[in-house]
Every structure is written in structure tokens, then in C-alpha cells.
Amino acid sequence: MRRKIVAANWKMNGSLELVQKLVPAVRDGVAALDNGLEVVIMPPSIYLGQVRELLSGSSIAVGVQNVAQWQSGAYTGEIAAGMAADAGCQYALVGHSERRQLFDETDELVAGKVARILESGLQAMVCVGETLEERESGDAETVVCRQLEGALKGLSAGDASKVIVAYEPVWAIGTGKTATAEDAQAMHEAIRRKLVELGLPGNAMSVLYGGSVKPDNAAALFAKPDIDGGLIGGASLKAEDFIAICQAGIS
């Protein structure tokens, strides 16, 4: 079933001081909403315990921004999906363009991580998106479809309910340039078509948009029929902005 979701990806931002201010403010702001929205906070992993504690009794879920492709072992510095589940996470982000670009993550690696995430009982939030160069050369849809195929290879239709796709055009991340609601809608439609082609229930899966979502553009994006919510970077670090985005009606 398609769910409305707004997820906060703090990336490598924040401090304990920010956690202690931001999380209670978001918790209280979201508690006042009654729009059937699922809200997820994905802080840097080191703060998961504190974030969980501050969210106790709240409906807001927590997630990790990355997991290893291995279950356990001699992988210094890595975090296993099972550990994220132990720490109370319900979601794991995977395939973010920053991981693909800065840490050379391939579609194959992303597929391995998706498998570990699902084995651990978490839900995978799988990011896809084209660069500006790829969009300008008319390859955006091809690139996104290839990423979907690579990341979701071997996924059963049954497991699809535990997978959320996040379309994040790389050129819109942290740049203040958002895809127009029409362009985002067109890509979301293409994503659903591709999911169906892969044997997955594409019309029943949640597909989120990410890339410079702000209080002033969220409503137009979320009003589109194939956009089920957002993955928010910069604006998730300001309680007022993040709550305003959560308030923007999702169709």
C-alpha cells in the first residue's frame, strides 16, 4: 500500500546540542498533525540512541543513513543492518548519490545492502537520481531505470512493501534548484512503470521526491499524484521548516 512519508536525512550535520533542541521540537510539531503522514528521522548513527530516547512515545520512526553490505565481521567503522535494527531503527537509507559519488557505491553494492536491510527486518529507502549532465543529454530516465534495475534485482513482489524509492536528482540536492513539480511527476511515473516492468507492484509502492524541498515548494510537489512524500536534507535541520513541510498536504 502506498504510504505518505516525509523523511529527514540530516547527513553528517548536527551535534548533541542540536539533537536535544531539534528532536523535541519536531516531535511536538508532528504530534499536532493529523494527516496520516509517516515521519522518519535519520540522524548520524552516533546519535541514534539519544534520538530514540527523545522520541519515546512518539509516532516518529528513526532510520540510518547507510549500512554495510556484510552481516558482521572485520569491517572497521561499518554498521550492520542488524545493528541498526537492534538500535531501534525501522528504516535504512541506501544508494544516496553522495554515497555513490564520494564512496564509489555501485548499483551492485546497493543491491547487496538492500538484501541485508530486508534480512534485518528494516525497510529500505532506495535513492536513485540523475546528474545534471545526464539530464541535459536526455538520459535521465535511462539512468534512473538502470539504477532501479540494479538496486532491486532479485527483489520479490512480497518484499516490495518494505522498499521505498526516493527520486533525488543529483543537481537538485543542496543546490536550491528543485525539479519542477511536473518534471518530478514525470519521473515518478516512469519509476512506477519500471517497477512494474521489474515484476514489482509499482503502483502500490511509495515513491518520494528529494532535492531542495522547502516549505515553499513542498505543497506543489506533494500535490502530484505519483509523489508520496519527500526526503529532506537541509530543511530537516530546522524544526520550523521541517514541520511546515510535514504540514504540506500530500495527495
Residues of this chain that bind ligand 13P (CB under 6 A): 9, 96, 168, 173-174, 210-213, 231-235
Residue 161 Cβ vs ligand 13P, minimum distance, rounded to whole Å: 22
Whichever of 54 and 221 has its CB closer to ligand 13P, that residue is: 221
**DSSP character at residue 56:** T
- Give the nearer residue to ligand 13P in terms of CB position, either 62 or 82: 62
CA distances from 111 to 14, 71, 232, 249 (A): 29, 14, 23, 32
188 among known catalytic residues:
no
When CB distances to ligand 13P are compared, the closest residue is 233
Which of 105, 130, 134, 168 is the catalytic position? 168
Instruction: State the nearest-atom distance from the C-beta of 196 to ligand 13P, in Å.
Output: 25
Q: Identify which of residues 6 and 54 has a Cβ nearer to ligand 13P in the complex.
A: 6
Report how far residue 107's alpha carbon sits from residue 63's, in angstroms, rounded to the nearest whole number. Answer: 21
CB closer to ligand 13P, 43 vs 211: 211
Minimum distance from CB of 166 to ligand 13P (Å)? 7
Shortest gap between Cβ of 97 and ligand 13P (angstroms)?
7
Task: Measure the CA–CA gap between 50 and 44, rounded to whole angstroms.
Answer: 11
Kindly give the interhelix angle for 239-247 and 215-222, rounded to the nearest 10 degrees: 20
Of 9 and 185, CB closest to ligand 13P: 9
Cell of 4: 505518505
Q: What is the nearest approach in angstroms of ligand 13P to the Cβ of residue 7?
A: 8
* Cα distance from N-terminal residue to C-terminal residue, the chain: 14
Cα angle 234, 92, 248; round to 5: 45
Catalytic residue among 38, 96, 98, 188: 96
| Alpha carbon distance 120, 126 (integer Å) | 16
Give the sign of the dihedral formed by CA 251, CA 195, CA 149, CA 162. positive
Query: Residue 178 gets which letter from DSSP?
Result: P
Report, as residue numbers or ranges, the catalytic residues.
96, 168
